[in-house]
């Protein structure tokens, strides 16, 4: 049996039915805000000079990564980072300019 590699990408999420809709745009912007919060947390974690919020080891690294994503989501939902409004304005202005 021969197994060959393919270059076909597998989508992680179901494609949006209408990517131009305000609902889908807001969802994408919220996802970006979560990603930004996660990057902030990851940078802060690296600045702990070798220390970690979690114990060392494979299990704690996995748990730590999941906890970091959860914390990023909660931060993005509870703190107004201002990214959502800015991105929505930029995208709306770009769409109107077309």
Contact 87, 32 (CB under 8 A): yes
Q: What is the pLDDT of residue 92?
A: 81
The tens digit of pLDDT for each residue in 44-65 reads 877 776 666 666 666 666 777 7
The yes-or-no verdict on residue 36 having pLDDT over 70 is: yes
Burial category of 8 from C-beta neighbours within 10 Å (exposed 0-12, middle 13-18, buried 19 and up): exposed
Listing DSSP states for 51-87 in one string gives --SS-SSHHHHHHHHHHHHHHHHHHHHHS--SHHHHH
């Amino acid at each position: 049996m021969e197994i060959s590699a393919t270059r076909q990408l597998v989508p992680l999420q179901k494609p949006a039915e209408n990517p131009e809709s305000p609902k889908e745009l807001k969802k994408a912007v919220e996802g970006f805000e979560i990603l930004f919060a996660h990057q902030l947390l990851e940078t802060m974690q690296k600045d702990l000079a070798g220390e970690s919020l979690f114990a060392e080891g494979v299990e704690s690294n996995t748990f730590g990564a999941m906890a970091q994503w959860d914390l990023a989501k909660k931060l993005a939902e509870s703190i107004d980072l201002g990214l959502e409004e800015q991105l929505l304005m930029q995208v709306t202005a770009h769409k109107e300019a077309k």
